[in-house]
A and B are shown apart, each in its own frame.
Chain A
Amino acid sequence: MERNIQKNGLVNLAVAVLIFLAGFGVTVFAGSLAGQAASIFLGLGVIVAGISWFQMRLEENEHSEKLELDELARSRGQSLFESKDGGSFPAQNARLQFEKYFVPGFAVLILLLEAGGAWLLWNWSGKNTAGLKEANATAALSLFAIFALLLFLIGRFSVTIARLENHRLLRPGASFLLAGAYVCALVALGIAGVEAKFPRADFWVARGLCVLLGLMAVENLLTLLLEIYRPRIKGKIARPLYESRVVGIFAQPESLFTTAAQTLDYQFGFKVSETWFFQAAQKNLAALLLIQFAALILSTTVVFVDVGEQAVLEHFGRPVATLNPGVHFKLPWPADKIYRFRTEQIQSFAVGYTPDPQSEAANTILWTVSHNKEENFLVANRATVTSQTASGDTNDTSKTQSVGLITVSIPVQFQITNVTDWAYKNSEPDTLLKDLATQEVIKYLAGIDLNDVLSQGRLQATKVLRDRIQAAANARSLGAKIIFVGLQDIHPPTAGDVAGTYEKVVGAQQTKLAKILDAKADAIRLTAVSGAQAFTITNVADARRIQLVSSKFAEAALFTNQIPAFEAAPSVYRQRLYLQSFADATKGARKYVLLVTNTQDVVIFDLEDKIRDDLLNLSITNSP
C-alpha cells in the first residue's frame, strides 16, 4: 500500500505554520533574542514545507495524468495517443515549469531571507539592551520546550518516513521540522541560562543561530552556483534546490558521513564514497577521533611562554609557580592550567579624559578647542581675585570657600611586577588601578589652588601624583609599578568659553606691556629732544654773549677813532654821519617829500598796500 505522501507534506506545512506563529508570539511576549532567531528559522521552514508540498501536488497530478492517459490508451488504441507534443501532458508540463523557474526562484528567496535575517539579527542583537523579560521567562521556557517536543515528534516521524520510502520531497520539510525542534530546545536552554543567572545566555544562543543562518545562506549560495555546473544525467532525479544539507546535518548529525558521501557522489557524478580513502576514513573514524583527542590532551602538557610574558601555573586551582618566557611542561589540562600576563608590556590608561582619535590627529592643541572627551575636576580657589588693585570688597568673597573647575588629561603608564598579586588579590586590578589614580587626582586637585596648579604647581604635580598613585597601588597589593604619570594637559574648562577668558587676560597683559613700552619710547624721545633744546638754548645764549661783547668792543674801538674827527669838525662830521646813515637807512623805504608849505590844500596819501591777486581769488568755504 502506497502512502499518500502529499498528506504528510500538508501536515508538515500546517505544523510549521502553527509553530512559527506561536513561536513568534512567545518571542514578543518574552523579549527573547534567541526566540527572534528561531522565528526566522521556523519561517524558513514554513516556506520550504510549502514549496515541497506544492511540488508533491504537482508530481501527484502528473502521476494521475499518466494513469489516466495509460487507461485511455489501453481502451482506445495506442496509436491515437502517440503524440510527442508536450501540450498533451499539462500536469507534467506544469511540474517541469515549476522545477525550472519557480524552484530556483524560491531558492534565491530563501537565500536572501537567510542572509538578510542573519545580518539584521546579528546587528540587532548587538544593539539591543532590553534583554529578556524575566517575569515571562518561565512561561516562554515551557512553551519553547513544548514546541521543541512537538516538532521533534512530527519531524522525526516525517524524516523516518522520508528515509524509509525514499520520498525526496518530504525530506526538506521534515528536516526543517526536526532542526526546528533542536532550535526551540536551544532557545529554551538560553532562557533557562538567563534564569540561572547567566544573563548573556539568551544573547549567545541568538548569536549561534545567526551563525547557523549564515552557514545556511552560504550553503544555499554554493548549491545554486554548483547547480549550474552539475552534470545532467538522464533519468537522474535532481535534488530539490531548497533542501539544505546544513539543516539535514543539524537535524541528523549521525548522517554526516552519509550526507557527505551523497554530496560528493551527487556533485562528481560517480561513487566517491566507494573509494578506499573514504571507506578507510569511515571505518576508522572512532580510532581517529580517539587519537585526535589524545593528541589534544598531550598538547596541553607543553607551554610556551612568549617574550614579555609571565604565566601563573595552577595545579588543581592552586598557584604553584610563575613561569618565565621559554618552554615548560606541566600536567595535562584540566589538572594544570596556566594564566598568561604581559608583564613587560607597558600598559596605560587615561584619567580625566577619554582619548578621541579624531581630535588627537590634530596638530595644534588649544585650550579653547576641545581635543578629547574631557571631564571637569573641582579645584580649590584661594582667592577670587589675585589683583593687587583689588579693593576691600574682595575680602568678603575670599572668606567663603571658593571652588573652580579645571580640565586635566593625565595618562598613566604601568607594568605588572607581581603576577600573583595582580591575578589573585583583586577581581579587576586594571579597573581598580584606574579608580585609585582618579581618586588621587581628585584629592590632589581638591587641595591645591587653581592658579597654583595652572602655573608653578604643574612641575611638582606629576611627581606627587606618581608617588601617591604608586603608594595607593602598593597599599592595595596590586602588584603593579607606576612607570609614568603625565600632566599632558591642564587648563580651565573649554565649555562656557572659560579658557577663552584666560587667553584674553594674556592679551590684556600684552596690551599693558605695549602701552608701557610706547610710553617709554615717548619718554626717551622727549628726553632726547629736551636735551637737544637745552643745548641749543645755552649755545645760542653763548653766541649772543660773544657777539655782544665783540660788537661792543669793536664799536668802542671805532668810537675812539671817531673822536679826533669829531673834535676836528664837530658839525660837519656830525652832519656827515647823519647823511650817510640817512641814505643807508632810507634806501629801501618809500619816501614822500612835501615841498609846499603854508598852503590851504589838503594832501591825501593813499598808503594802503595793493592786495595780491591770489588773495583776491581765495574762495572761502564753511568748515563743518
Chain B
Amino acid sequence: MKKNVLTIVIAAVLVVIFALLLFTFQVRQSEVAVLTTFGKPAANNLDQPNLYFKWPWPIQQVYRFDQRVQNFEDKYSENLTADNTMLLTSVYVGWKISDAKEFFPKFAGGSVEAAQRQLETMLRSAKAAVIGKHNLSDFVNADPKQLKLENIEDEIKTAVQNQLASQNYGISIDFLGIKKLGLPESVTQTVFDRMKSERQVLISEAQFQGEAEATKIKSAAERQAADVIANAQADATRIEGVGVAEAAKTLSVFQQKPDLAIFLEQLKTLKSSLNQKSTLIFDERTPPFSLFQNLPANTQTK
C-alpha cells in the first residue's frame, strides 16, 4: 500500500512537471514572444514579462526573440569618396526587433543571423552612397568644426531606416556609428612613405640649421676676436706714439753737439748691425788696422 502511494506521488509529480512544460511558458523582460496556433501567429506580440499558458505542441508553438538592442558590425569595406579617395570603413549598428510578428515570418523563423545578413546588405548600399557624397576632409580634418562624421553616421542611419520602414521588416535601428576608418594597404604604404618624407624634411632641417647656426656663432666669434685684436693693436700704436713723443723731449740735449750726437748714433748703429756671423774685410787704412802701414812688407803675402 505504502509503495503504491509513493508510486502515485512520483507519477503525480512527473505529470505536473510534464503538464507545466507542455502548457506554460515564460517570457523574460528581455524577450518578446510570438505564439502561433497551427502556424498562424497571434494578433499581439507577447512583450510583457510573465507566465503564459498555451496549448501543447503541435497546436500552439512559442517563438521567442531578444527584444533588447542587438549590435553587429558590418564588413570593413572600401568605398570611393567624392574627392576620389579610397576609404575603408566599418560601422556598427544597434538594432532591435520592433515588431516580432512581422519579423518572425520574414527571416526564416525569426533568425537573427538572417536579419543581420539582410541588414548588412542594406547597410553596405547606404554606406557606399553616403560616403560617395563626402570628401575625405569630412571624415578626417584637423579642424574639428569641419569634421562631419556624425552627419555621415546620421545619413547612413536614415537611409537604412527608410529602407526598413518601406518594407516593414519589424526591425528598427537604434543607433549607428563608424567603428573603423582606414585606407587600403597600397595607400597606407604611400601614407607611410609621405610621413617618412615629412620626417626627412625635419631631419634635413635640423642638420642644416645646426651647421648654419654653428657657422654663424663661429664667424661672430672670429669677428669679435679680430675686433678686439685690432683695437689692441691700435692702442699699442698709440702707446708707442706716446713713448716716441716723450722720448723726443731729449732731442734738445743732443742738439747741443749735433756732430757728437750723430757720431754716437752711427756707432750705435754699427754695434747693432754687426753680429757673430758678419765677415769684415779691411785694408790697412782702416783704423785701428792703420797701425800695419808702418810695418815691413810681407814678401810672401800675395
In Å, the complex CA distance between A607 and B280 comes to 11
Question: How many B residues touch A, CB cutoff 8 Å?
Answer: 132
Check B274–A585 contact: CB distance below 8 A. Answer: yes
In Å, the complex CA distance between A533 and B289 comes to 51
Tell me if B's interface is mostly helix, strand, loop or mixed.
Answer: helix
Residue in contact with B109 in the complex, picked from A197, A476, A551, A575, CB distance below 8 Å? A197
With A435-B92, A562-B260 known to touch, is A403 a contact of B213 (CB < 8 Å)? no
Tell me if B9 is interfacial: C-beta within 8 Å of chain A. yes
Check B232–A534 contact: CB distance below 8 A. Answer: yes
Tell me if B19 is interfacial: C-beta within 8 Å of chain A. no
Q: Which B residues from 232 to 270 make CB contacts under 8 A with A?
A: 232-233, 235-240, 242-244, 246-248, 250, 253-254, 256-257, 260-261, 263-264, 267-268, 270
Check B139–A293 contact: CB distance below 8 A. Answer: no
Tell me if B195 is interfacial: C-beta within 8 Å of chain A. yes
Check A436–B177 contact: CB distance below 8 A. Answer: yes
Counting chain B CB atoms within 10 Å of each CB, the highest count among A540, A560, A594 belongs to A594
Return the CB mask of B82-123 against A: 1 if under 8 Å, else 0.
010000000010100000000000001101000000000000
Measured CB to CB, the nearest residue on chain B to A518 is B214
Q: Which B residues from 166 to 203 make CB contacts under 8 A with A?
A: 175, 177-183, 188-189, 191-196, 198-203
Measured CB to CB, the nearest residue on chain B to A394 is B201
Tell me if B147 is interfacial: C-beta within 8 Å of chain A. yes
Tell me if B22 is interfacial: C-beta within 8 Å of chain A. no
Chain B residues within 8 Å of A390, by CB: 201
Check A439–B92 contact: CB distance below 8 A. Answer: yes
Tell me if B43 is interfacial: C-beta within 8 Å of chain A. no
Check A286–B240 contact: CB distance below 8 A. Answer: no
Q: Which A residues from 315 to 341 make CB contacts under 8 A with B?
A: 316-319, 334-335
Check A594–B281 contact: CB distance below 8 A. Answer: yes
In Å, the complex CA distance between A408 and B205 comes to 28
Check A427–B68 contact: CB distance below 8 A. Answer: yes
Check A317–B29 contact: CB distance below 8 A. Answer: yes
Interface band, chain A: 35 or more
Check A448–B142 contact: CB distance below 8 A. Answer: yes
Q: Which A residues from 544 to 580 make CB contacts under 8 A with B?
A: 544-549, 551-553, 555-556, 559-560, 562-563, 566, 574-575, 577-579
With A376-B182, A498-B196 known to touch, is A594 a contact of B136 (CB < 8 Å)? no
Chain B residues within 8 Å of A515, by CB: 210-211, 213-214
Of A67-75, A253-261, A489-497, the stretch lying at the interface with chain B is A489-497
27 contacts between A and B (CB under 8 A): A293-B13, A317-B31, A378-B140, A389-B209, A427-B66, A428-B71, A432-B69, A435-B71, A435-B177, A438-B179, A515-B214, A516-B217, A522-B221, A526-B225, A536-B232, A545-B242, A548-B247, A559-B264, A588-B274, A589-B276, A591-B279, A593-B282, A593-B283, A594-B281, A595-B297, A597-B283, A605-B279
- Residue numbers of A with Cβ under 8 A of B are 197, 286-287, 289-290, 293, 314, 316-319, 334-335, 376-382, 384-390, 401-405, 423-428, 431-432, 435-436, 438-439, 442-443, 446-449, 452, 476, 492-493, 495-498, 501-502, 504-505, 507-509, 511-516, 518-520, 522-524, 526-527, 529-531, 533-538, 540-542, 544-549, 551-553, 555-556, 559-560, 562-563, 566, 574-575, 577-579, 581-582, 584-586, 588-597, 599, 601, 603, 605, 607
- Residue numbers of B with Cβ under 8 A of A are 6-7, 9-10, 13, 26-31, 48-51, 66, 68-71, 73, 83, 92, 94, 108-109, 111, 135-137, 139-144, 147, 149-150, 175, 177-183, 188-189, 191-196, 198-211, 213-218, 220-222, 224-226, 228-229, 231-233, 235-240, 242-244, 246-248, 250, 253-254, 256-257, 260-261, 263-264, 267-268, 270-271, 273-284, 287-289, 292, 295, 297-298, 301-302
10 A-B pairs with the lowest CB-CB distances in the bound complex, closest first: A545-B243, A534-B232, A530-B225, A512-B210, A541-B236, A523-B221, A519-B214, A496-B192, A556-B250, A552-B247
